[in-house]
């Protein structure tokens, strides 16, 4: 009987069920985060990205050949939400984000269908590329059949969070604001929306039936062939009252239930959570390190990088690493990103004001670490994008920029490819320990990723001019170094001068670290191969795509003068301007121009710079009415100019 048990276990092991490598593939993987609407369109007739567009452009991500093409050779991709959602316009200027889910089991026809998804998965898997989907368990659109049933008092009434008279003690889920930010009037009651939107309502995950329904969604898409999921809004799955709207004990129980589902697959399905919370709180999301999420997006790491590069000081990164090492459980894994689709950080080239060398330094901190990197589409090209309004982070990917940068040896894209190659050729770094090193050089910081047998050393020179630095390899406590070890360049070619033996290791003097540069060195018994020399001045020539908008058939003035309800239709005059006259009382107002006049917002224009030029999904336009009376609001769709003029009378 005992022999039979061992035979059975051996079979299971051979099938990968107990294989640590099969279950932990995500630790050594490089991800590419695709925003579906913006990445690649399969038809020139419309400019909205879709699933077939990804398939057609997959060679850019991974062409299936090792070191043989112009691809990034990423190992996995994360897709933005593809579900049927309330905003499904084919207008390329409409900000479809996909989180306003109407049907979890249907694909938004703007992006394709299930057959397209299956084709994408088959192609990716044939090239060894994993694919994750965006799982949205916290809320749905108010157009979801569940919500319609709930709002009408049906059998799903308690599937959402309702209150006829919410307490004024409520605030935003992350603090601040007022009760009206999260409670939205609907009929004779209010529904809760941590998303702070009157179009999106929170599901009541206290309800076992809701929990089961969401688990079925997760299982459906994992069974469909996806290799894992990003859990959107993980800290806000449960709310227990005012001030108890995040990080609740039942939230962690839900995550354990999701983890049990993921672990039931022998192929090693992976869960990564949006853990946008204070670093000391994030530790709770890993549980024991093996029973909740596999990975958490490291928002604090993303925030520390610009400060380190701009000041030439890595103390913030050191403090964060120490805090995570002390507080996080064994087995935790963070996901490193520089920016994403949310209003957290602007894209790197915007953060560094066009300095591609600094963008490269940021990329090296992201890609050359033991964390799992997630490259947000376009960052490798140097795409620009402000984090507020966050729609600017989701601009259209310009494929002509790819062709242009591949032809330039010193382009940012080619430097990303070099960094990814370094990561591939030194896979030990995914299991390495991190050691910050003293360089004895101002504004030059360094760290090592080391095992007992070898190390990769990364130096960042944030000075604009060349510098020298000293490396004492005895600082790497986990490395069992001996006199046969050598230091060899992997990226960059500084002059290396070996010094005296120190405590079983050696010290090196590095001369001529190029200004605004990244240097990567290998320390071990073997000589490493050089991937690339210093690129000099890194360039990132990019051209923002300006899509051709669908002709406007309507336009509405929406603002606090009419309760933001889209009840002020504008008229197109003979000069091509949309106009409407409105009676206003003396006071201050905010407004936008919007295309559909429905409760759910469509494409709209605000004004980010307050310069009289409309910006897609921009900030509210402000108006101070000095006198009560009639005001003419105008918008020109050709040049996006808008203006307000006081009139003597209204029609």
What pLDDT score does 505 carry? Answer: 57
Together in a domain, 601 and 563: yes
Together in a domain, 566 and 642: yes
Q: pLDDT (tens digit, 9 = 90+) per residue, 154-172?
A: 999 999 999 999 999 999 9
Residue 18, φ and ψ in degrees, nearest 5: -110, 10
Last residue of a domain, one of 163, 186, 202: 202
In a domain, 178, yes or no: yes
Together in a domain, 488 and 511: yes
Which distant-in-sequence residues (6+ apart) come within 8 Å of 588 by Cβ?
622, 623, 624, 625
Query: Full-prediction pTM beyond 0.85?
Result: yes
What does the DSSP assignment read for 225-265?
Answer: T--EEEETTGGGS---STT--SS-HHHHHHHHHHHHHHHTS
Together in a domain, 478 and 452: yes
For residue 463, the enclosing domain spans 427-524
Tally of CB atoms within 10 A around 181? 16
Tell me the CA distances in angstroms from 114 to 46, 87, 213, 413, one per residue in order.
20, 19, 20, 32
Contact 447, 314 (CB under 8 A): yes
Domain count of the fold of the chain: 4
What pLDDT score does 463 carry? Answer: 96
What pLDDT score does 2 carry? Answer: 35
What pLDDT score does 482 carry? Answer: 64
Together in a domain, 494 and 580: no
CATH code where residue 158 lies: 3.90.400
In a domain, 25, yes or no: no
What pLDDT score does 500 carry? Answer: 56
What pLDDT score does 147 carry? Answer: 97
Together in a domain, 568 and 602: yes
Last residue of a domain, one of 181, 202, 223: 202
What pLDDT score does 381 carry? Answer: 98
What is the C-alpha to C-alpha distance for residues 606 and 392, in angstroms, rounded to an integer?
13
Contact 58, 69 (CB under 8 A): no
What is the C-alpha to C-alpha distance for residues 302 and 340, in angstroms, rounded to an integer?
10
What pLDDT score does 502 carry? Answer: 46
Among 254, 172, 247, smallest CA distance to 210 is for 254
Alpha-carbon Rg for the chain in angstroms:
27
What pLDDT score does 258 carry? Answer: 98
What is the C-alpha to C-alpha distance for residues 618 and 609, in angstroms, rounded to an integer?
9
Collect the ranges in the chain with pLDDT lower than 70.
Answer: 1-21, 44-46, 95, 481-483, 498-505, 600, 651
**Spatial strand order in the sheet of 183-186:** 162-163, 189-192, 183-186
**Strand, coil or helix: 14:** helix
């Amino acid at each position: 009987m005992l022999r039979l048990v061992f035979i059975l276990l051996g079979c299971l092991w051979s099938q990968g069920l107990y294989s640590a490598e099969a279950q932990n593939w995500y630790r050594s993987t490089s991800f590419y985060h695709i925003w579906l609407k913006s990445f690649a369109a399969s038809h020139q007739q419309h400019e909205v990205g879709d699933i077939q567009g990804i398939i057609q452009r997959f060679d850019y991500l991974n062409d299936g050949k090792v070191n043989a093409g112009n691809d990034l050779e990423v190992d996995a991709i994360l897709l933005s939400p593809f579900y049927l959602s309330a905003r499904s316009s084919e207008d390329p200027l409409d900000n479809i984000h996909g989180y306003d889910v109407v049907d979890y089991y249907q694909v938004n026809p703007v992006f394709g269908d299930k057959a397209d998804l299956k084709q994408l998965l088959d192609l990716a898997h044939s090239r060894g590329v994993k694919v994750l989907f965006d799982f949205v368990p916290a809320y749905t659109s108010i157009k979801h059949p569940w919500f319609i049933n709930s709002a009408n008092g049906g059998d799903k009434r308690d599937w959402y969070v309702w209150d006829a008279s919410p307490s004024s003690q409520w605030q935003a889920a992350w603090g601040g604001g007022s009760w009206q930010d999260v409670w939205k009037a609907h009929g004779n009651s209010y529904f809760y929306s941590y998303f702070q939107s009157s179009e999106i309502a929170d599901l009541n995950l206290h309800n076992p039936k809701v929990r089961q329904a969401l688990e079925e969604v997760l299982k459906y898409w994992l069974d469909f062939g996806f290799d894992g999921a990003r859990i959107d809004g993980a800290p806000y799955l449960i709310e227990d009252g005012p001030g108890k709207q995040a990080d609740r004990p039942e939230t962690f129980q839900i995550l354990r239930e999701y983890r049990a589902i993921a672990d039931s697959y022998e192929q090693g399905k992976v869960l990564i959570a949006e853990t946008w919370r204070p670093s000391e709180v994030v530790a709770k999301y890993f549980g024991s390190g093996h029973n909740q999420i596999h990975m958490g997006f490291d928002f604090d790491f993303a925030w520390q990088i610009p400060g380190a590069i701009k000041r030439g000081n890595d103390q913030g990164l050191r403090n964060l690493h120490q805090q995570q090492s002390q507080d996080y459980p064994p087995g935790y894994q963070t996901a490193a990103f520089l920016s994403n689709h949310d209003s957290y950080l602007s894209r790197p080239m915007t953060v560094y004001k066009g300095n591609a060398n600094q963008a490269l330094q940021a990329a090296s901190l992201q890609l050359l670490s033991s964390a799992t990197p997630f490259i947000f589409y376009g960052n490798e090209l140097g795409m620009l994008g402000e984090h507020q309004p966050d729609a600017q982070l989701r601009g259209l990917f310009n494929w002509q920029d790819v062709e242009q940068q591949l032809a330039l040896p010193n382009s940012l894209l080619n430097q990303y490819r070099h960094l990814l190659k370094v990561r591939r050729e030194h896979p030990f770094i995914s299991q390495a320990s991190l050691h910050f090193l003293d360089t004895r050089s101002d504004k030059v910081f360094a760290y090592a990723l080391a095992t007992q047998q070898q190390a990769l050393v990364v130096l960042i020179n944030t000075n604009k001019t060349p510098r020298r630095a000293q490396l004492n390899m005895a600082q790497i406590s986990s490395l069992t170094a001996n006199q046969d070890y050598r230091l060899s360049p992997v990226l960059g070619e500084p002059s290396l001068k070996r010094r005296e033996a120190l405590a079983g290791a050696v010290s090196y003097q590095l001369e001529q670290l190029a200004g605004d540069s990244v240097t990567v060195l290998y320390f071990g018994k073997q000589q490493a191969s050089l991937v690339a020399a210093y690129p000099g001045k890194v360039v990132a020539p990019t051209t923002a795509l300006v899509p051709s908008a669908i002709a406007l058939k309507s336009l509405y003035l929406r603002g606090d003068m009419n309760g933001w309800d889209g009840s002020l239709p504008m008229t197109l005059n003979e000069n091509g301007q949309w106009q409407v006259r409105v009676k206003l009382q003396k006071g201050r107002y905010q407004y936008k121009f919007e295309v559909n006049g429905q409760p759910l917002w469509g494409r709209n224009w605000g004004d980010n710079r307050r310069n009289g030029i409309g910006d897609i999904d921009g900030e509210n336009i402000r108006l101070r009415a000095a006198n009560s009376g009639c005001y003419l609001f105008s918008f020109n769709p050709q040049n996006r100019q808008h203006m307000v003029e006081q009139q003597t009378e209204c029609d």
